[in-house]
């Protein structure tokens, strides 16, 4: 069977049955390829749907959006709280430098006659070893209390043995 169209194209020697058979084979190949691609895409879509269902957790899109906005607001609140805590901690550390953190106390018998070591010397110092000494001397006719200022571990007034001992005890404490 010859075709005028094939003759005009210079392909008159080809049988139209072979051409139809070739086109049928190509169509069948493309159909199988399309079917395989469709199955692969359906599998991917199924996995994606499972992930979306797990992510959504039974919520609709609007409630999920509200939840995400809530999480961002909570995050901003936590950041602000953390910054406030940092400022407060810095302020506390600054204030702690001025507080009396170190102490030394020595009890003694001022006049060697009374007994019971009723007299004492108390040294209170801050981080920079500045503060004061309180010396309380107890005798048979009364109790007398004296204070001496300490700056950077030194006193401008001469210290007694007990006062020096209390001062060194306070300075010796670890920071």
pLDDT in tens, 13-48: 777 777 889 899 999 999 999 999 999 999 999 999
pLDDT tens digits for range 99-147: 888 999 999 887 776 667 888 999 999 888 899 999 999 887 888 999 9
pTM above 0.95, yes or no: no
Per-position DSSP letters for the chain, written without gaps between them: ---HHHHHHT-TTS-HHHHHHHHHHHHHHHHHHHHHHHHHHHHHHHHHHHHHHHHHTT--HHHHHHHHHHHHHHHHHHHHHHHHHHHHHHHHHHHHTTS--EEEEEEE-SSSSS-S--EEEEEEE-TTS-EEEEEEEEETTEEEEEEEEEBTTB-SS---HHHHHHHHHHHTS--
């Amino acid at each position: 069977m010859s075709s005028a169209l094939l003759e005009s194209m210079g392909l008159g020697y080809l049988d139209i049955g072979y051409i139809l058979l070739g086109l049928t084979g190509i169509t069948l190949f493309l159909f199988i390829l399309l079917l395989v691609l469709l199955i692969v895409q359906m599998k991917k879509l199924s996995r994606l749907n499972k992930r979306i269902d797990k992510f959504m957790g039974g919520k609709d899109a609007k409630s999920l959006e509200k939840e995400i906005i809530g999480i961002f607001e909570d995050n901003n609140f936590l950041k602000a709280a953390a910054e406030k805590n940092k400022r407060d901690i810095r302020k506390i550390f600054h204030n702690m430098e001025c507080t009396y953190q170190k102490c030394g106390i020595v009890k003694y018998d001022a006049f060697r006659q009374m007994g019971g070591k009723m007299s004492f010397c108390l040294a209170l110092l801050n981080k920079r070893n500045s503060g004061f000494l309180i010396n309380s001397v107890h005798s048979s006719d009364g109790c007398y209390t004296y204070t001496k200022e300490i700056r950077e571990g030194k006193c401008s007034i001469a210290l007694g043995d007990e006062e020096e001992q209390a001062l060194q005890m306070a300075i010796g404490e670890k920071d």
